[in-house]
Amino acid sequence: MTAMRRAMGAVVVLFVVALTWVAVWVPYHATDALIYGRWSRLIELGGPVADLSLGAGYLQRPLFYVVQGWLWQLFGFHEWIGRLWALVFLIALVWAVWRVAGSDRGGAVTGAIGALLLVCNPDVVQLGAAGLTDVPVAATVGVAGVLVLGLAGPRDRWALGGLIAAAALVAGLTKPSSYFALLGVGLALFVGPRPQLRSRLLWRGVPLAVGTLLSLVWAAIQAGRLDLGISDFLKGGSAETISAAVYSFYDQLNAQSRGSFILGMEWLGPYLTLPLIFAILYAVLRIAARPHRLAVTIAAPTAIILSWLLPFLADSSNGTVGPFDLDRPVAVVATVLLFVPLWLARDCPTDELPTRAHLTRMFVWALPPTMAWISSAPFNTRYLSPAWVPLVALIAAALWTAVRGTAAARGRGWGWVVVAILIVVGVVDLRNLDGLGQRPDGSIDAARTIRALKVTGWFHPDQARAAADPALGALVDDTGAALRAPGRLITGDGRLPYYWPLRTTRGEPQRCADLRGYRTLVVTQSATGLAAAREKALTPAELAEATGGRAAQIAFWRRCQDPPVRTLSIQPREFAVFRIGR
């Protein structure tokens, strides 16, 4: 067992070390990291912490970006400082998963399985130091869960209560989606010996509630300053600030995603589709007091069938889904190789079975954030991050039974089969490291970046950015060349204010006259992400308004005469940079 734990831990360490190297040498390149990173740049340049001009979408998630801005203000604008700040949360997430998953039968080995499962999740590998709030919210909620469930922390009740309140406060300031996960953590306190329930609620539940309410004080203050209700603030805006066309667009995108990501069960990526379904079915049956052997007998074959059937039934018009897509050979092979170990989980020794209490706590914890994700924003799997810790812990517990059951049925060495499969998948998933090598078609391959940078390219930020995302590198280079001339920039692209925060106006001009007072215009284009049938469900006016209208039409701006507009550079179907005359 020690060898298993060390082998899995080595893959996790490899991931963290590789990501640390990338974080130090490759600038930010994830879209939302640049959009929200503008807040950090403004703070670095002496702007207020709560800048109302940014709007609710920014102010609802202060922890990461405010601290990043303070760090840049103190040490200077070095992107690697922000990237290492992001990496702190990844390490906290790994620790939280290890502690939660390892708190039941299997101990450190089950904890190592949980940590390795994180490396098998493409979202974690891409976003670990990307500068978004998805990993930080997963980490802060996970740390809060560790403390609330009594898995770590001081023995003194008052000290533990203070830490729980602080953890809940930090989680609430990280991202609003944390509140659903904190609710799940609180509900998990009801699972356990009834005589100690009052004590658990008093010394752990109350501090959790206090910390959560304290984080809402920030939200209430900023909502009042923006003249919004607190609910609208936490949603990022109101019906007055977000147009009906945008709501219609996201309604279609969410409906499409429920038919692909949700039904297809790629919640944690294609490699974990079968383990996730098996873990959920197994946990439900065990919670319902079914014996372990019967639970596995039902869950294993049902999960195998559903791992094929659900993706088959899913709406895959926006891309393939499921672990049996032949374009994903590693997912196919890994899924098939798990068939027998999952069935042999029936033979797991009784004294090594996951306890019902542990399975129930993880299920209860995961339920609120998962349902919130399904109902509100299923168009991106990274928004499920508040539920990562309990979901991964559930899968780790289920796979532990496969490890021990296979060893009991076929011999001790055969328990390595499950571990070896996870190790191979984890290593292969490093191709998604930091989203390196991204292309406009959405494909990611870190090997592209490594080949492009060779040995010396890592030490040149512009080269590293261009290798990580060639489209972004070209956009920044061409815009920077245009801004060598004096004057302001107007663009609908939310990434550019990060680079030139004091010279950029983010807007969507619709008439040539809207360009007066500016010297540079940058127009970017991108796919809507909607299938053709769902685009048709929107009126032309709704689609145009939701996607920028004329602000994204390169041909329109090339015809402007008053003021005159001259093309400086153009990348078809990506962006164009214009000089605006006087």
Only one residue has tokens 């490396």, namely 119
- DSSP one-letter string for 166-224: HHHHHHHHH-TTHHHHHHHHHHHTTSS-GGGHHHHIIIIIHHHHHHHHHHHHHHHHHHH
Q: What's the distance, CA 450 to chain centroid?
A: 24
pLDDT digits (tens, 9 = 90+) for 397-442: 999 999 999 999 998 889 899 999 999 999 999 999 999 988 766 6
What is the C-alpha to C-alpha distance for residues 353 and 397, in angstroms, rounded to an integer?
8
**518 and 485 Cβ atoms separated by less than 8 Å:** no
The amino acid at residue 563 is P
Among the listed ranges 133-142, 161-170, 253-262, which one has the minimum average pLDDT value? 253-262
Write down the pLDDT at residue 545.
58
Mean pLDDT of 321-342: 88
Q: What's the distance, CA 403 to chain centroid?
A: 29
Among the listed ranges 69-73, 127-131, 357-361, 444-448, which one has the minimum average pLDDT value? 444-448
Q: Is the pLDDT score of 239 beyond 50?
A: no
Mean pLDDT of 483-487: 93
What is the C-alpha to C-alpha distance for residues 112 and 438, in angstroms, rounded to an integer?
30
Predicted structure pTM score? 0.92
Among the listed ranges 71-85, 191-205, 448-462, 509-523, which one has the minimum average pLDDT value? 448-462
**19 and 434 Cβ atoms separated by less than 8 Å:** yes
% of the chain exceeding 70 in pLDDT: 90
Mean pLDDT of 125-154: 95
Q: Is the pLDDT score of 448 beyond 80?
A: yes
**DSSP-H helix ranges across 430-564:** 446-453, 461-468, 470-482, 496-499, 532-536, 540-546, 554-558
**381 and 267 Cβ atoms separated by less than 8 Å:** yes
What is the C-alpha to C-alpha distance for residues 232 and 276, in angstroms, rounded to an integer?
33
Write down the pLDDT at residue 536.
55
Q: By three-state DSSP, how is residue 311 classified?
A: helix
Which pLDDT band holds residue 531 (cuts at 50, 70, 90)? low
**413 and 394 Cβ atoms separated by less than 8 Å:** no
% of the chain exceeding 90 in pLDDT: 73
Distances (CA, A) of 59 to 218, 236, 503: 9, 9, 21
Q: Which residues pair with 506 in a beta bridge?
A: 491
- DSSP one-letter string for 325-345: -TT-HHHHHHHHHTHHHHHHG
Q: Which backbone phi and psi does 431 adopt, to 5 degrees? A: -60, -20
pLDDT digits (tens, 9 = 90+) for 21-57: 999 999 999 999 999 999 999 999 999 999 898 999 9
Q: Which residues pair with 490 in a beta bridge?
A: 505, 521
**DSSP-H helix ranges across 26-133:** 31-44, 56-59, 62-75, 79-101, 107-119, 122-127
pLDDT digits (tens, 9 = 90+) for 159-171: 999 999 999 999 9
Q: Is the pLDDT score of 522 beyond 70?
A: yes
